[in-house]
Structures are given as C-alpha cells and as structure tokens.
A and B are shown apart, each in its own frame.
Chain A
Amino acid sequence: MPQTEINSPVTGTVWKIERTIGDRVEEGDVIMILESMKMEIPIEATTAGTLQAISVEHQDSVNEDQLLCVVTS
C-alpha cells in the first residue's frame, strides 16, 4: 500500500489536531492546523486514504519539512 508522508510547509507550532489515527481521509481534508507568522495553516491530506500515523502533538514546535503525518492509500 503506498504511503504518503505529509511534511510541514513552515516552521511553527501545532495549534489543533483535527483527526485521529485510523480515520479515513479524502484529498483536501484538513488533518491538523499549524500556527506560524500569526497565520493558521491547514494541513490537508494530499491523497485519499487512512491516516496511519501522526508524528506530532498539540503545541509541538515543528520545523519546515518535518514529518507531520502519514496517509496510507
């Protein structure tokens, strides 16, 4: 099964995690929201599938390109 890794586009903090591991997601669904430069950045599923892993927690600091979650399709 192909795994799609979703990385952070920015350096910032995890503001809200909207979905949980095992959830079915469609392409474009918001999985979590980051906060950076006073902006809310929705992290969307780039493919449809099952949310296999979430590698960050609420209020974590994240770096640009850091792995956020994995979708298995």
Chain B
Amino acid sequence: MSDSSTASTITADEIQDEVFPELAFRQAESKKMGGAQAIARQHAAGRMTIRERIEKLVDSNSFREIGTLAGTGSYDENNALVSVTPAPYVAGLAKIDGRPVALGGEDFTVRGGTTFGSSRRKGGQGGFIEDLAFHYRIPLVNLIDGAGGSVTSLKRRGHSVFPGVHGFERSVELLGQVPVVSAVLGTAAGGPAGRAILSHFSVMVNQSSQIFAAGPPVVKRSLGQVIDKNDLGGAKVAVDTAGTIHNCAASEADAIDQMRRFLSYMPSNVWELPPVVENTDPVDRCDPLLAGIVPEKRTQAYNMLRLVRLVCDKDSCFEIQPTYGKSVITLLARLGGRPVGIIANNPMVYGGAMDVHSARKQIHFMELCDTFHIPLVFFVDVPGFMVGLKAEQEGTLREGMRAVCVAGKLRVPTITVVIRKCYGMAGMATCNKNDIDLKLAWPSAEWGSLPVEGGVAAAFRKEIMSAPDPAVREKEIEAQLKPFASPYRTAEAFAVEEIIDPRQTRPVLCEFIALAEQRLRADLGLKPRYGVQP
C-alpha cells in the first residue's frame, strides 16, 4: 500500500461530532442512561451504573458497544427528535486480558432494568448478546441488575406471552460451548435470576444483591410469610446455604475481579485449550512443609487448603464455592502455568465426609473442568458418605452416587493423590479409573471398602460376641488385619500406581499435567451427551 493512502486517515478518537450531528446527539443521549437523578440514586445505593461496571470489567478502551441507539425516541410536533430514553440494557464486545468476550447488563437507572419491548432483544435469554457469544465462540459475561419481565408489558402488547417464547434454549446451549459468567449486582428474580444459574460461574455482592425465584411481596401473598429481601435471597442463603450462586464478593469491584479471575483459567470455547501462562514457580520445587503436614494421629484434622497451596503454582489458587458444601474444596489453580481443577476433601469439616452439598459442588466442578478440557487433580481424604438421619433425608446417597457417576464419565486426564483416607463409594468419586489415569498415594494413605476399625465389629460379630472378653477379641482381630491395610501392600500388588514422598507431589503433578496437553488436544470439542444420571 502507498503511504499517501494512510496519510489522511485518522484514529477513532479523532472523529469529530459535527459531521453527523444526529448520530452524535443520539449517542450522547444513550450515555445519559436514566438521567442524573436515577444515576445518583444508583450511586447512593452503593452500586455502579452499568457503564461504570463495564469500564471496570474490561481492558481499557476495548468496549465496542452494540445497540447504542436502541431506545424510545421522543419527537416534537414537527417530528424532530427531542430526546431518547435508552434501552435498559447495555451490551457489546470487549476484551478481558486481551481476549474477546460478549457482555451486557441491565441498566437499572432506566425503568429498573425491565425489558422495553423492542422487536429484537439486546440481551437476556435469546438476546443478541447470547447469539454473539454463540456464533463467534467467545465467553459471555452477564452483569445482572434487573427483575425480569413486568406485567406492564401486558398492556403494551395487548396479550400475555407464553412462557418460553423468549426461552432459555440459547443460554442452555452456551453452557456446553463457551464460558458463561454472571454477576448478580442488584435484586434478581425471574429471567435474570434464571440466567445467573445458567452460568459456569456466578458471583453476588454481600448485602447489596439478592436473588430468588420470587421476592418478598409474592412470598407474603402466597404463604403469608413476611421476610426481608436480604433474609430471603441474600448471600447467606443464596451462596452459603443453597449454593444457588457460587461465590460471594465483598463489593462490586471484588465481584468483577472474581469474574476476570475465573475467565483467566478458561479457554474461549470448548474447541480451544485453556490458556497457559508464564510460570516463575519452579516445577521441581519440593516444599519441606509437606513432609509433616499430615498429623500422625489419624483422628487429627489438618489444613487441606494449605497443603494444596504448597503444591500449586504460587498464588494461583482461586476457590469456587468456598462457603458451600465445605467438606470438599474445589479450586482452579495452575501447575507449571497450566490450568488445573483441584478437588480436595476437607478433613476439618466432618472429617471430609461427602454430604449432599459437597457432592453437588463436586459434580458442578467436575463437569466444568471436563467441558473446558481442564485436567483434574484430586487430593483425597474422604472417610465416606455422610451418615445419619439428616444425611439420609437430604438424599446424600443419591447425590453422592451422582458424583460417582459423573466421575466415572470424565474424559479429561485425572490424577488422584490419596493423602489419607479413601474409603467406600465416596472414595470412588475421587478418581476416574478409565484408561491410564494415575492414582498416587502418600505414605499416610489408607483405603478400603471401610476402615478396619468399625468394620471388624460388623464382620466378626459372632466371633467377637462369643469370646470371653468381646472388647479384647475385637482389638485382637483389628491388630491382625491392620498390616494388610498398609498402602505398601496395595503398591506391591500394583493396585495403586505409585507411593510418593509428599515433597515430590509438585514435580510429579507438573510433569503429568504438562504431558496431558497432547491428550487434551486430541479430545477438544463438544462433550457428548450422556444418558440418565441417577
């Protein structure tokens, strides 16, 4: 190309408004959102406007808005434009860490972010922004601040809309193809609440966000219950108790940071490998603290999160659902700069026993990593499923077996490191025994269908009861069987692939995770759909 053709070009910033005044005016109207008063109210509630949220979330100057001019124009008697109330949804294309994403969110300053009745939706289920993510195979970011449809649209349309006309089909399809992240940044009910759930990662802000199927007025009318919206759908319920939303953030800025962090581990879609970052933490680092981290006394708990952090790349751990289903820890991390999913039983919480909540949490995390070709590493210390009446009433057995079922169908490379206990069916949910997936163990490991202690009393009941001193006989049988429970006996039979010095955990894992790349590459693409889960 000749130099003369570039000499007269200008950059986007140098474009003068006066050439196309109506375009410039309409663009300026859109930037005013719901007006100064509404913006002040949004700020007074401790919330950012949708435009501030987008600016905070994306790489600087990377936001290319789509649908800027959508809205409701008001015209004078000569049909000249007076003003435009923008559509209550701001959307477009942007970059996060240099990678393109589709993003959008309700503008609460315009009619509380309710839909405005255009012929084509900008965002929300079935909206343009979902299609953009789908067709260009890029992540979708939902910045949710709205309560969905309003009965006022009845009057405008003249008829009611059948549920599913603006359905979740696209939202559902996206879950198998590109990362979807959602932040609940206000009070969400209806469609926006549904979309927050149809996400790979969701976050809400402590105190200033709530999410529920229906808010306090509906609850009062239906059940006569009078309850504050924070007590009904605040983070305490939605994150800690129900696991409806994955993580709680201290502020909107924190929520945005968490979404960026989550996306940093994800590929742009299922046809790409997850991004590898430069790593400064030596892959052969052997932390001496690992040698003494498991107490000798087997009834003493220890800090599993610390153990995992000592193994993974420094500062690379990002915990998903830290306050829900706490008997298992699920986190995204890196080994040698490569993303991995870590699932670690937490002996601090009921000895690491799997309950209905931790099973559900583990299932979501396994499916997430399997979908996006992120290898899994299990750090195992699980005594079994949680027992007792409450656990049975909650359906622990069914949810636990669902975890076993999903683990059995994993296609990503899976490495299992048994730290201490690995018992029963819950133990089966900690590995994928297909192909050549590796099972490693520390010398502190012990496993079986059930522990020798307790197991003896049931299996040798007759013999124990007929002994002159049953308690002594029980101890004797336990002592006879104990040597067979040594992990070294299992290694002799090559029924566990390797027993390693705990300090060697990082070098071994880094080597196998690096090796996994070719296997992951060969398996890129959509995950097949499976039959019925239990």
Contact = CB atoms under 8 A, between A and B. Distances in A.
Interface of A: 9-10, 28, 36-42, 44
B348 A10 contact: yes
A39 B299 contact: yes
- Among B299, B306, B353, the most chain A Cβ lie within 10 Å of the Cβ of B299
B6 interface: no
Contacts of A28: 303, 306
B299 A10 contact: no
A42 B300 CA distance: 8
A47 B297 CA distance: 26
B326 interface: yes
19 contacts: A9-B326, A10-B348, A10-B349, A28-B303, A36-B350, A36-B351, A37-B351, A37-B353, A38-B351, A39-B350, A40-B300, A40-B301, A41-B301, A41-B348, A42-B300, A42-B302, A42-B303, A42-B348, A44-B303
Question: Chain A at the B interface: mostly helix, strand, loop or mixed?
Answer: strand
A37 B300 contact: no
A38 B301 CA distance: 10
B375 interface: no
Contact of A37 (B302, B326, B350): B350
A51 to B, nearest CB: 19
A39 B303 contact: no
A44 B302 CA distance: 10
A39 B297 CA distance: 10
A28 B510 CA distance: 27
Contacts of A36: 350-351
Interface residues of B, number: 14
B386 to A, nearest CB: 9
B100 interface: no
B347 interface: yes
Contacts of A9: 326, 348-349
Interface string B47-62: 0000000000000000
A73 B524 CA distance: 49
A41 B351 CA distance: 8
Given A41-B348, A42-B300, 17 more contacts: A9-B349, A28-B303, A28-B306, A36-B350, A36-B351, A37-B351, A38-B351, A39-B301, A39-B347, A39-B350, A39-B351, A40-B299, A40-B300, A40-B301, A41-B301, A42-B301, A42-B303
- Among A28, A36, A39, the most chain B Cβ lie within 10 Å of the Cβ of A39
A11 to B, nearest CB: 8
Contacts of A41: 301, 348
Interface in B258-306: 297, 299-303, 306
A15 to B, nearest CB: 11
A28 B301 CA distance: 13
A41 B300 CA distance: 6
Contacts of B302: 42
Interface in B337-355: 347-351, 353
Interface string B23-63: 00000000000000000000000000000000000000000
